[in-house]
Amino acid sequence: MDAPDAFFQVPLTRHPTSQGEVELPIRYHEVRVAILLFEVDAGAATTLLAGTGLEPALGRRGRATAGLALYDYRVTSIGPYHEVGTAIFAQRIGERVRAGVLDTLRPPSHRKVGVHVVDLPVSTPAANAAGRELWGYPKFVTELPMQLGTRELFSAVRDPDGRGDICVARGRLGSWLPAPPLSLVTYSVREGALVRTHVTVRGRTRLHGAGSVRLEVGGSPHPMARRLERLGLNDAAPFAVLATERFQSLLHAGTVVG
């Protein structure tokens, strides 16, 4: 018999949701991931962060950084599902951060910069209920066809009301270098309070050039499409893509910080 995997041997707590009880942390055992990173206008990012208590973490040339994360969750403690998230790298207003976005390379417990999720469509009601009710993530349920290969990717977000595509990401990844797995800090707003959450990650990760990968905003009138347009991401090429087929993670309970 194989020895237990110490990464997943953590204390569990049960939390009720409208779709049934959820054990935290949620355990993600087998996942494929591609995270498209974009430089975006700081003013547009600030507008989308209004009312959260957050401001963009600025990088090169005073630009903000946004990510489109594509998750193919194959084996998890809440079942398999797909997820696509638009997020802005952000920090609490007035907090001094010397390293800017590079602060995300520090251990999560020492970070000031995290990601604020702007939109987070998922493919199952259970994932939707857990995210919205326990963390305040802006989830909604829709069809998310997705194929994440080692060299090519395709992902679409369908309008939940059948009005076409919200967005489509596709293309062939560029050349790559090995990269460390990027554990996350997320900031969300639940019942008017700012919530900080740690996501512990492991896996062999590659840092790709954009290659031919592009993000296209579809003709859907859904608010997610409009927010992507506001960030200037229609027909946009990422400056880099983080990808792995060996992603594992723990999504911990959040902590109210403001």
Distances (CA, A) of 78 to 22, 26, 127: 7, 7, 7
- Whether 63 shows a pLDDT value over 90: the answer reads yes
pLDDT of residue 3: 58
Tens digit of each residue's pLDDT (9 = 90 or more) over 38-48 = 999 999 999 99
Percent of the chain with pLDDT over 90: 87
CB under 8 A, 24+ apart: contacts of 230-235: 230/44, 230/47, 230/48, 231/38, 231/40, 231/41, 231/44, 231/45, 231/48, 231/66, 231/86, 232/40, 232/41, 232/44, 233/38, 233/40, 233/66, 233/68, 233/167
Tell me the HSE value of 258 on the side-chain side, using a 13 A CA sphere.
11
Q: Which residues contact 102 (CB under 8 A, 6 or more apart)?
A: none
Which numeric CATH code is attached to 27-252?
Answer: 2.40.400.10
Q: How far apart are CA 81 and CA 222, in angstroms?
A: 21
- Decide if 58 contacts 100 (C-beta within 8 A): yes
- Whether 2 shows a pLDDT value over 60: the answer reads no
The reported pTM is 0.94
DSSP 169-236: EEEE---EEEE----EEEEEEETTEEEEEEEEEES-EEEE--TT-EEEE-S---HHHHHHHHTT-TTB
pLDDT of residue 106: 78
Tens digit of each residue's pLDDT (9 = 90 or more) over 196-211 = 999 999 999 999 999 9
Tens digit of each residue's pLDDT (9 = 90 or more) over 99-117 = 666 777 777 788 889 999 9
For the chain, give the mean pLDDT. 94
Tens digit of each residue's pLDDT (9 = 90 or more) over 198-249 = 999 999 999 999 999 999 999 999 999 999 999 999 999 999 999 999 999 9
Per DSSP, the three-state class of 87 is strand
Q: For residue 1, name the pLDDT band (cuts at 50, 70, 90).
A: very low
Q: How far apart are CA 68 and CA 206, in angstroms?
A: 16
